[in-house]
Structure 1
Amino acid sequence: MQTIRNYFRTPWSSDVRLDDRTVVITGANTGIGKETAMDLAKRGAKVIIACRDMEKAEAAVNDVIEKSDNKNVRCMKLDLSDTKSIREFAEAINKEEPKLNILINNAGVMVCPYGKTADGFEMQIGVNHMGHFLLTHLLLDLMKRSAPARIVTVSSMAHSWGAINLEDINSEKGYNKGKAYSQSKLANILFTHTLAKKLEGTGVTTYSLHPGVVQTDLWRHLSGPQQFIMRMVSPFTKDSVQGAQTTIYCAVEPTLEKESGGYYSDCAPAACSAAGKDDSVAQKLWDLSCSLLSIT
């Protein structure tokens, strides 16, 4: 039904300018992150692409500069699977940038084989949630000074099948890559929800979103049968440009200025699962994340 509705919905568009605004986007060397960078650069923003693979990042920067006609685009190294890299990146931003108006937590890993980050987190919760949690925390003071500012976190409808396992957040007692992915995407929504409360009155607002079922290289870890199904449904999926629209909407849409903590899909407010609205679990996850990341 949703797919059919989307075919008849007028595509969202806006001519909002972002001159004099600074944007950081994680994982923006390919896919929807790169398309988001392209769009915001065309609006006049200073765009910082934060990526692990600097070769791919440089290529993305050159492409964005060429197509957007905006020379104010650069890349910086950021490995979300390593808190040392996150701290170094944040320190450089805080030192070099007078302001940060939009932070887009876009990077992610999806249904990968079991692995651990440099700090011992299961890879999906580590990159998708813990990495972005720490990054956001380290950039918050700069964002508050830059208000109005927005924090946009790319989640997924997969959050609906997720549950937060507070006793075994790193899936050490048993690993199911689909469940671990859904847990990490639910964590994105709960993080956004709690962060909104903590930022009330600061002028910094926060949003999470489902980009749609997008054809991206995140599919590479799907099993043979899963890839076959994805190819079958691919006529109903989105390309990267379409997939980036809800991220861009959350970053620039003027009517969202007074909204915070919500979940969006297809450039409109959407219903998240009941688990995504659980204040108690959200706070427990927040406390656990702070503890594991040594945030006081």
Structure 2
Amino acid sequence: MRFNVFKFALKGYFMQKMWFNLLVSAAIAAVVGYYWLNYVKKGPIYESDKKLNGKTVLITGGNCGMGRLLAMDLAKRGARVVIASRNLEKSNKVKDEIIKESGNREVRAMQVDLEDFDSVRKFAKEFDESEKYLDYLLNNAGMVLEGMTKYGINRIFVVNYFSRFLLTNLLLDKMKKQSAERPVRIINLISDMYKYVDFDESDMTRDSSGFMGPFIMYGKADLADVRFLQNLTRKLKGYDVTAQLFNPGYIMSEGLSTYYSFRARMLSHVLIFLMGQDAYHGYQPYLKLVLDDSLVKHKGGFFNTWTHEEWLPHATKESAWEPLMRKSLEVTGLSST
């Protein structure tokens, strides 16, 4: 009899413990789920009543994803917005949508293929001759691609670094002259993959093969972009031109299904499901960086979503600046102009 009572009490104890553990696990899961849904998958909304009447914004890749949302937002604030992308037909449709929703007719679509330096040159010449000002240069377009270009350079390096380098330099005189009367901002989108890689010139001339190859090459191109803007910031001393870099984090974009390689898409979809945001929440810190004048003090700075971060030492290695500059001038043909 005593044994049965003891057995019953022991069973009750374990049952209580099991239910207690289940309740604790459920509570933890609820807290984690709430945090995941509200702070990982979503995030803060940036609010500002700042107007941009009279300002000109050039945004590459402004016909999809965050670029499209940012173009719409800036047009609603009165800015003249120039959307530059390879697909002119799509950009014209987006332009019409922005004009209809914002009521601002100062929206223009222009064609540029960032895999083709001749296209970049033609675009820059047309923009320079037809637009009086350039207040914001937003190098927003970026891709994870496999393969090589006709220049014998990796496609990721051409789109994500060399074409940005070329476009920025072709428009630099315009921005420097303008800065005497009105400030200029240059913002390049990168990822935080730059933290985990380094590169040499041979990386630029090989394909990004393998499962992780395109992402590693993406980080290498980002690191080149970081070093370029650090060097550019030094050379822009005395001009009211601020160059900065921005990492939006993992963002779902139309470009993910259009331009990424199959393997890159699969990995990106997993990462975005776990840690990513939709384009609406992803562009909020981007909008803040564009509009918040107090952030201009961070010249050559890096904004990891909402937070200003110090660069890792290897990213600001001055000994790497001049070799990268020489290679960039050679690849883009600027050394002969």
TM-score by length of 1: 0.90
Indicate yes or no: 2:171 matched with 1:142. no
Aligned twin of 1:52: 86
Distance 1:225 1:91 in 2: 34
Question: Paired residue for 2:296, among 257, 275, 285?
Answer: 257
Q: Does 1:187 align with 2:220?
A: no
**Residues 158/3 of structure 1: CA separation in 2 closer, same or farther (3 Å cut):** farther
Residue 124 (1) aligns with residue 163 (2) = no
Q: State the one-letter code of the partner of 1:145.
A: K
Q: Is the 8 A contact 2:84 2:110 kept in 1?
A: yes
Q: Bigger radius of gyration, 1 or 2?
A: 2
Which residue is equivalent to 2:119?
85
CA–CA distance in structure 2, aligned partners of residues 210 and 225 of structure 1: 18
Alignment of 1:64-213 (within 5 A): 64-110=98-144, 112-116=145-149, 118-147=150-179, 148-171=183-206, 176-213=213-250
The 10-residue stretch of structure 1 (226-235 or 121-130) with the greater mean CA deviation from structure 2: 226-235
Of Structure 1 and Structure 2, the greater helix share is in 2
Please say if residues 153 and 206 of structure 2, whose CA atoms lie closer than 8 Å, have aligned partners that are also in contact.
no
Distance 1:274 1:226, change over 3 A: farther
Q: Give the 3-state SS of the residue equivalent to 2:243 in structure 1.
A: strand
Alpha carbons 1:159, 1:273 under 8 Å: kept: no
Unmatched tracts of structure 1, length 5 or more: none
- Does the Cα contact within 8 Å between 1:211 and 1:245 map onto a contact in 2? no
Q: Which one is further off, 10-19 or 141-150?
A: 10-19
CA-atom RMSD in angstroms: 2.6
Over 3 Å counting, the alpha-carbon distance change for 1:123 and 1:251 in structure 2 is same
Paired residue secondary structure (1:62): helix
Indicate which of 235, 242, 245 corresponds to 2:281: 242
Offset of 1:102 from its aligned partner?
Answer: 0.5
Structure 1 residues 226 and 207, CA gap change in structure 2 (3 angstroms): same
Deviations 1:113-156, CA, capped at 9 Å, x for gaps:
2231x433210000110001000000111112222100000001
1:75-128, Cα deviation, whole Å (9 max, x unpaired): 011111111111111111111111111000011111x22231x43321000011
- Number of residues paired by the alignment? 294
Q: Indicate whether 1:38 and 2:72 are aligned.
A: yes
CA distance in 2, matches of 1:20, 1:288: 37
Change (3 A) 1:186 1:93: same
Q: TM-score, normalised by structure 2?
A: 0.79
Tell me, in whole angstroms, the C-alpha distance in 2 between the residues paired with 1:212 and 1:68: 28
Aligned counterpart, 2:309: 270
The residue identity in structure 1 corresponding to 2:171 is: L
